[in-house]
Amino acid sequence: MLVWFSVTPIGTGSPSVSREVARAVAAVRATGLRCETDASGTLVEGTWDDCMDALAAAREAVLESAPRVSFTCKFDVRGDRDQSGADKVASLEQALEEETQR
């Protein structure tokens, strides 16, 4: 399963939320799950339960310094086989290569 998520701390009194977001990402990384963070969010790979535990860890980390947190999440669940984020990107790159050779 792949879960992409973004957290928005609310009520910190500061226009910058980088510290709270850093706490959330650190908590997810501490789970040991494969994850990648970019400018818009974090992609986590694992089982449903492991990913939910990672999101819970992110929530708790943010709530240590913010009274409220909002999540935006996207779930990609395959029942037919395992697929990593790297697999999906490789498939896209192959399709792009084929498209440009037309």
The range of the structural domain enclosing residue 45 comes to 2-100
Query: ∠74-30-68 over CA atoms, to 5°?
Result: 55
pLDDT at 71 over 90: yes
Q: What percent of the chain has pLDDT over 70?
A: 100
Number of domains in the chain: 1
Per-residue pLDDT tens for 88-102?
A: 899 999 999 999 998
CATH number where 23 lies: 3.30.70.930
Residue 57: closest CA among 30, 33, 19: 30
Q: What percent of the chain has pLDDT over 90?
A: 87
DSSP secondary structure, 29-98, as one string = HHTT-EEEE-SS-EEEES-HHHHHHHHHHHHHHHHTT-SEEEEEEEEE--SSS---HHHHHHHHHHHHHH
Question: What is the model's pTM?
Answer: 0.87
